[in-house]
Structure 1
Amino acid sequence: MASVAVPISRTPLRGLAASLPARFGTGLSPCMTNGLRFSSTFVAGARRARPTAELGRRRRETAWTRGFKHDVKVGGSGRKPPSFAFAFDIDGVLLHVAKPIPGATRVLKFLNDYNIPFILLTNGGGKHETERVKDLEARLGVQLSTDNFVQSHTPFQELLEGPNSLRDKTVLVTGSDYEKCRSIFKEYGFKNVITPADIYAADPTIFPFQPAASFTTPSQPLPKPLYSHPGPPNPTHLPSHLQIHAIFVLNDPRDWALDIQIITDLLLSHAGYLGTYSPLNNTPHLPDRGWQRDGQPALYFSNADLLWSAGYHLPRLGQGAFQAAVAGLWKRVTGGEGLKRGCIGKPYRETYRFAERVLAGHRREVVRAMGGAAGVSGGGESGGGDSGDSGVGALERVYMVGDNPESDIAGANGYVSEEGTEWVSVLVKTGVWSEERGGKLEGVFKPKEVVGDVMGAVKWALKREGWDQEGKGKELD
């Protein structure tokens, strides 16, 4: 993952916040991805939280450090970046649980030495980017920056901006660890964050299947009481009660039953007031028969992976399974209506769009640094989406190396670059997919190549680029 330490200049894009509907039913459709774009101000990981003074200092540096490095500066190897780059999934490609997959560290250091840009794209989550980076540094034995590291819920920071900003609104977050989810969203900048545990602690009757005395999950007091008036919602009583403006599933939830109950209650509510029931529900003459048409909170899932590779010898159910459970229950509750929700992460196109822009931006910064430090002349073809950049050609290819045909491979195969960059999908056998468990590799799930592991993937790509004829890549033998 080659990165730069200063924001990359690029054409402004309409952010995710601009696509957030004022009323849920007017703009969000099942697995909505249209309009889901990363704005030019969005920077992955912790950069948003860096002090202004530090950013100013880093902008003044004449040579920028790279994301994965071992005491090497951008352009320090004296090698001009090639016209290709890599995108790697993490779990099942670089790591198996806590241990590096053989060859992973060597591959990353090789790419760094040759100034070959790469980015890490993961549907994992549940930790803040800075925490995850430190963990990966220790496990992989390489230094990692948050600049080019994108996990499943990183783009949710976009919803802090724009006319429909959720910065000051009350949002519900859930995942494997309620308090960790709250902490992540607080660090992102969301001011009013509650969890299902907060709601249960305020009124245990909302989930009658567990004795209140046995519920030991940490909780915090709600900012306002829950609505508990019987009958239709009373407009005079509502403002003094809890209103939820959006629901976020950050990573694989642990307590499915409680989470599904509260999510369903909110999607049936009037305008996100938990404890109300919308009078528009099941109204025949309304669009969608009134379901999710009364200002209910938007529901966002951070990834759609049905399965993932964990410590057990067989794949485990992921967040995609939880999403399927919520959608299936909603269909039963509403008599056949589809669940309106937003989905991000792989295989959705905005993840790949963002990765491509970061990779192209890195190549330009390397050449600029080399031009100042190594005498590389200006001029030449511009590329990667920004006109006027000198000394670097267009990013022609990105090799997406993944272990999951339904996310990594389908996403790369289905993505059409606005800049004409070719995305080449490479499937490894060290993660979710295996020949023994079946699953035909056809259509959008068919990779360009199937290899044993990440080392094999990079060697195959280098050979495809003709590097074997130039004698490069022997360090990987």
Structure 2
Amino acid sequence: MSIGGGIPESRRALELSDLLGVKILPSQVLLGHSPFRNLLNRFENEFIVATGKGEPAVVMSEYGFKRVVSLDEYASYFDNIDPVAQYKRWTTKHESECARNSEKIVSSSYMLSTKVKAAFVVSDPVDWGRDIQVLCDILTSGGLPGQQNEHQPPLYFAADDLEYQAAFPHERLGMGAFRIALENVFNRIHEKPLQYTSFGKPNPSVYRHAEMMLGYLLQFSSSSNDVMKNADVESHSLRTLYMIGDNPLVDVKGAVQAGHPWFSILTRTGVFRQKENHTSHPADMVVDTVEEAVDFILKRENA
């Protein structure tokens, strides 16, 4: 199950278990930032910065990254790095995040002298202006704001949705919109274009990661007929994987690009509201609700 991020999979699993009345394991939850785990070998002991709503540093720390701080905390060590901070009426609380990190980083001298080796946009940023400013400082200086231009540190995004459906009747700007804003500003002030990697949909790697995790779970699941009916028992490969989503440009496009064994079901519950299938990125099936999509899958698999 892939849903919004900003908190660890372990906590989201507890929320889903309580909501659904079914035991959900953390390994059964895939968030946009879950693939960041694959970068642990490269950055486990490197100094990195994470930003986004929720607790981005806690998320990265639970993946095993040992020297990670939130951008909220990082910016607080640089006087006047955010020139309009005095006009902001909100405050941030990074102490609880820092306390949960596997290795605390509290030295001011360390913060002000150590290069950031990578920046991670874990979830939708809250303070776009501050984050664009500080990320540009990090990325144009080679990892240490105020220094001379050097090689740009790696930048990673957990998603690239331009828009998404929230409680407001009209779509809201997503992480993809933030990426566009950051990229345009960076490219105006730096001689080389911004380099980044996006792990979010519609990148086929997201779907491959889900396949890998489902295959892993399948190997340790019960060998009952109910569990194995839609699988090749010997190879532990699923014959069909169903993608249920409400965004043709993201959910359906990604499933189509991923190809076999993905089957896309488009719902009229969010970004997509049209009567007919999407013209540019048509899904294998279009339904009104998620419940209707689940009913279709159960009937199809039990046929």
Count of paired positions: 289
Alpha-carbon shift at residue 344 of structure 1 (Å): 0.4
User: Contact 2:140/2:190 (CA < 8 Å) preserved in 1?
Assistant: no
Alpha-carbon shift at residue 462 of structure 1 (Å): 4.5
Name the CA shift for 1:353/1:203 in 2 (closer, same or farther; >3 Å): closer
The code of the aligned residue for 1:181 comes to P
What does the per-residue CA deviation read over 1:45-91, in whole Å, with 9 as the maximum and x for residues that have no partner? Answer: xxxxxxxxxxxxxxxxxxxxxxxxxxxxxxxxxxxxxxxxxxxxxxx
Alignment match, 2:10: 130
The code of the aligned residue for 2:253 comes to A
User: Contact 1:202/1:222 (CA < 8 Å) preserved in 2?
Assistant: no
Alpha-carbon shift at residue 460 of structure 1 (Å): 3.0
Does residue 347 (structure 1) correspond to residue 202 (structure 2)? The answer is: yes
Alignment match, 1:188: 63
Q: In structure 2, what is the Cα distance between the partners aligned to 1:121 and 1:370?
A: 25
Alignment match, 2:296: 460
Name the CA shift for 1:465/1:134 in 2 (closer, same or farther; >3 Å): closer
Alignment match, 2:158: 302
Alignment match, 2:286: 450
Alpha-carbon shift at residue 360 of structure 1 (Å): 4.0
Q: Which has the larger radius of gyration?
A: 1
The code of the aligned residue for 2:85 comes to Q
Alignment match, 1:325: 181
Alpha-carbon shift at residue 151 of structure 1 (Å): 0.3
What does the per-residue CA deviation read over 1:125-176, in whole Å, with 9 as the maximum and x for residues that have no partner? Answer: 0111111111112222322111221101112122222xxx212111111111
Secondary structure of the corresponding residue to residue 300 of structure 1: strand
The code of the aligned residue for 2:53 comes to S
Q: Which runs of 5+ in 1 are unaligned?
A: 1-119, 228-240, 279-293, 377-381, 384-388, 468-477
Structure with higher helix content: 2
User: Contact 2:115/2:144 (CA < 8 Å) preserved in 1?
Assistant: yes
User: Contact 2:137/2:144 (CA < 8 Å) preserved in 1?
Assistant: no
Does residue 425 (structure 1) correspond to residue 264 (structure 2)? The answer is: yes
Q: In structure 1, what is the Cα distance between the partners aligned to 2:282 and 2:166?
A: 23
The code of the aligned residue for 1:450 comes to V
Percentage of pairs with the same residue = 31
Name the CA shift for 1:453/1:212 in 2 (closer, same or farther; >3 Å): closer
Alignment match, 1:409: 252
Q: In structure 2, what is the Cα distance between the partners aligned to 1:364 and 1:226?
A: 44
Q: Which runs of 5+ in 2 are unaligned?
A: 96-105
What does the per-residue CA deviation read over 1:78-123, in whole Å, with 9 as the maximum and x for residues that have no partner? Answer: xxxxxxxxxxxxxxxxxxxxxxxxxxxxxxxxxxxxxxxxxx123x
Name the CA shift for 1:321/1:449 in 2 (closer, same or farther; >3 Å): same
Alignment match, 1:276: 147
Secondary structure of the corresponding residue to residue 109 of structure 2: coil
User: Contact 1:327/1:339 (CA < 8 Å) preserved in 2?
Assistant: yes
Alpha-carbon shift at residue 461 of structure 1 (Å): 3.6
Alignment match, 2:242: 399
Identify the structure with bigger relative contact order (alpha carbons < 8 Å, sequence gap 6+). Answer: 1
Name the CA shift for 1:213/1:352 in 2 (closer, same or farther; >3 Å): closer
Q: In structure 1, what is the Cα distance between the partners aligned to 2:264 and 2:88?
A: 51
User: Contact 1:301/1:343 (CA < 8 Å) preserved in 2?
Assistant: yes
2:121 is aligned, of 249, 257, 281, to 249
User: Contact 1:404/1:432 (CA < 8 Å) preserved in 2?
Assistant: yes
Name the CA shift for 1:359/1:188 in 2 (closer, same or farther; >3 Å): closer
The code of the aligned residue for 1:441 comes to H
TM-score, scaled relative to structure 1: 0.55
Q: In structure 2, what is the Cα distance between the partners aligned to 1:366 and 1:189?
A: 26
Alignment match, 1:200: 75
The code of the aligned residue for 2:115 comes to Q
Secondary structure of the corresponding residue to residue 224 of structure 1: helix
Name the CA shift for 1:434/1:215 in 2 (closer, same or farther; >3 Å): closer
User: Contact 1:198/1:222 (CA < 8 Å) preserved in 2?
Assistant: no
Name the CA shift for 1:331/1:362 in 2 (closer, same or farther; >3 Å): same
Alpha-carbon shift at residue 296 of structure 1 (Å): 2.4
The code of the aligned residue for 1:182 comes to A
Q: In structure 2, what is the Cα distance between the partners aligned to 1:295 and 1:363?
A: 43
Name the CA shift for 1:394/1:251 in 2 (closer, same or farther; >3 Å): closer
Name the CA shift for 1:203/1:431 in 2 (closer, same or farther; >3 Å): same
What does the per-residue CA deviation read over 1:9-50, in whole Å, with 9 as the maximum and x for residues that have no partner? Answer: xxxxxxxxxxxxxxxxxxxxxxxxxxxxxxxxxxxxxxxxxx
Alpha-carbon shift at residue 225 of structure 1 (Å): 5.3
Alpha-carbon shift at residue 362 of structure 1 (Å): 4.6
Secondary structure of the corresponding residue to residue 263 of structure 2: strand
Q: In structure 2, what is the Cα distance between the partners aligned to 1:342 and 1:448?
A: 29
